[in-house]
Amino acid sequence: MTKVADCRLPLHLPLNQKEATDTGAQAVERYPYNREKNVLIRRSTPDRSQRIRRIVQLLFVALNGLLGVQFLLWVRYFESGGNSMYVPRPAGVEGWLPIAGLMNLKYFLLTGHVPSIHPAAMFLFIAFVLMSLLLKKAFCAWLCPIGTLSEALWRLGRKVFGRNLRLHRWADIPLRGLKYLLLGFFVFVIGTMSAEALVGFMNTPYGLVADVKMLNFFRNMGQTAAIVLVLLALGSMLVQNFWCRYLCPYGALIGLVSVLSPVKIRRDAEACIDCAKCARACPAGLPVDHLVQIRSAECSACMECVAACPAQNALQFSLPARHAAAPAQRWFRRSVGPLAIAGIVAYIFFGLILIARATGHWQTNMPRDAYMNLMPHANEVTHPGI
Ligand code: SF4
Ligand code: SF4
């Protein structure tokens, strides 16, 4: 377990000096002296962040469930040669194609044209990156169904095993590097592709049915894939957010973007009573009680730390503090509450969908006949690079 040195901030430092803090996931600027503990001034209102976050997570899981059922019905229609109920293809499933989203974004930046295959993937990709730019990795803790499942698994693991494990730094840091390696691989491959290569890939049979291939992965799962998924589930029960922390390249990307977010978890040393409840509650294992702001790419804006904090104005998800003597004045109209997070996330998500729909770039532009020919052979289609 990582031990972090005490670096409580001296009361006499002006606020702008107190802002110089962490530079990464675990880095801490140390102060050479301790100070007396502050007197606890209890928060006046109970925290609602986790209840609101849970509602948003469940709504998004339900939305994905509906999209999944509609997509399955749409695929079944073509697989049955048109002998089952037809439903329109839900373009929202392209949110599960982040690599297509990145490829299409590069194509759009190079040519100024929105690609006709999987355009929704690009708009949803932009929406999720934009959220990270404004609200840290809120996408991971508030929307992503895999993040929600990971969270459910570590909570289940805590119930079953009585606790979760926290890996030692020598294992944790190299493992965290894995997701950046995966991200680097995808960025390198896509970065070296020309606009012609990108549009050419999207128009291959593999590119056209990339979403169906993903569905088939789960429908016709082989033994090896099933074993890997069981191991991942077990890892997620033992270690909090195992997949997100070590393996998710999408999380790695938006984590890097999230470092630029002006809104961060911020601790007011003058209101903090040094109880360390925030650090114990943090699923990312961040030393929240030792920092005045969390810049780490691992912070998912889950607000578990804020929910755990007993002191009024000691911890918040906020813009930088105002220059004022009293904590209440420092954070006045600076905090971003859970309802505001939910509102901003919804605004960006539905706003981008609206833009895509209004400009006629939401649906993939493919005739029904092409799907009718392609769909029964989706399993035989292989990656053009193989
Ligand atoms: S508990 Fe706080 S510091 Fe930890 S990931 Fe959640 S919001 Fe970030
Ligand atoms: S939970 Fe963290 S921020 Fe809140 S009083 Fe305790 S140590 Fe300070």
Cα of 206 from ligand 1 centre, angstroms? 39
Same domain, 328 and 219: no
Q: Name the residue range of residue 374's domain.
A: 50-257+343-380
- Closest CA to ligand 1's atom 5: 299
Same domain, 11 and 124: no
Mutate to test the pocket of ligand 2, among 34, 41, 277, 292 (most ligand atoms within 8 A of CB): 277
What pLDDT score does 69 carry?
Answer: 97
Pick the ligand that lies closest to the CA of residue 292. 2
- Over the stretch 333-360, which tens digit does the pLDDT of each residue have? 899 999 999 999 999 999 999 999 999 9
Indicate whether 246 belongs to any domain. yes
- Over the stretch 86-143, which tens digit does the pLDDT of each residue have? 999 999 999 999 999 999 999 999 999 999 999 999 999 999 999 999 999 999 999 9
Torsion sign over Cα 370, 371, 373, 377: positive
What pLDDT score does 18 carry?
Answer: 40
Same domain, 250 and 301: no
Same domain, 105 and 208: yes
Measured between alpha carbons, how far is 123 from 65 in angstroms, rounded to an integer?
20
* DSSP H or E run through 72: helix 49-79
Phi, psi of 45 (to 5 degrees): -125, 145
- Closest CA to ligand 1's atom 3: 299
What pLDDT score does 380 carry?
Answer: 79
Cα of 131 from ligand 2 centre, angstroms? 26
Cα of 346 from ligand 2 centre, angstroms? 30
Residue 277 Cβ < 6 Å to ligand 2: yes
What pLDDT score does 28 carry?
Answer: 39
Indicate whether 7 belongs to any domain. yes
The number of domains in the chain is 2
Same domain, 218 and 347: yes
Helix spans in 209-326 (H)? 210-219, 223-238, 242-246, 249-258, 277-281, 304-308
What pLDDT score does 385 carry?
Answer: 62
Same domain, 229 and 271: no
Residue 305 Cβ < 6 Å to ligand 1: yes
Same domain, 197 and 321: no
Same domain, 95 and 7: no
Measured between alpha carbons, how far is 281 from 303 in angstroms, rounded to an integer?
9
What pLDDT score does 195 carry?
Answer: 96
In the structure encoding, which two tokens stand for residue 163, read together? 């606790």
Q: What is the CA radius of gyration of the chain?
A: 23
Same domain, 80 and 202: yes
Residue 309 Cβ < 6 Å to ligand 1: no
Q: Of 271, 256, 280, 269, which Cα lies nearest the Cα of 184?
A: 256
CB 229 within 8 A of CB 247: no
Cα of 282 from ligand 1 centre, angstroms? 5
Confidence (pTM)? 0.88
Q: How far is CA 167 from CA 175, 276, 367, in A?
A: 10, 19, 51
Q: How far is CA 292 from CA 102, 260, 305, 316, in A?
A: 34, 16, 13, 10
Measured between alpha carbons, how far is 69 from 140 in angstroms, rounded to an integer?
23
Indicate whether 43 belongs to any domain. no
What pLDDT score does 381 carry?
Answer: 77
Measured between alpha carbons, how far is 26 from 22 in angstroms, rounded to an integer?
7
Indicate whether 303 belongs to any domain. yes
Same domain, 218 and 117: yes
Indicate whether 189 belongs to any domain. yes
- The tens-digit pLDDT sequence of the chain (386 residues) is 333 333 333 333 333 334 334 433 333 333 334 557 888 888 888 899 999 999 999 999 999 999 999 999 999 999 999 999 999 999 999 999 999 999 999 999 999 999 999 999 999 999 999 999 999 999 999 999 999 999 999 999 999 999 999 999 999 999 999 999 999 999 999 999 999 999 999 999 999 999 999 999 999 899 999 999 999 999 999 999 999 999 999 999 999 999 999 999 999 999 999 999 999 999 999 999 999 999 999 999 999 999 999 999 999 999 999 888 888 888 888 999 999 999 999 999 999 999 999 999 999 988 889 999 988 888 877 777 65
Cα of 374 from ligand 1 centre, angstroms? 45
Indicate whether 385 belongs to any domain. no
What pLDDT score does 35 carry?
Answer: 59
Which residues, listed in sequence order, are joined to residue 376 by a DSSP beta bridge?
none
Same domain, 118 and 86: yes
Same domain, 113 and 140: yes
What pLDDT score does 367 carry?
Answer: 87
Indicate whether 386 belongs to any domain. no
Indicate whether 42 belongs to any domain. no
What pLDDT score does 383 carry?
Answer: 73
CB 28 within 8 A of CB 291: yes
DSSP characters over 296-342: -TT-----HHHHH--BTTSEEEESPPPS-SSHHHHTTTTB--HHHHH
- Closest CA to ligand 2's atom 8: 272
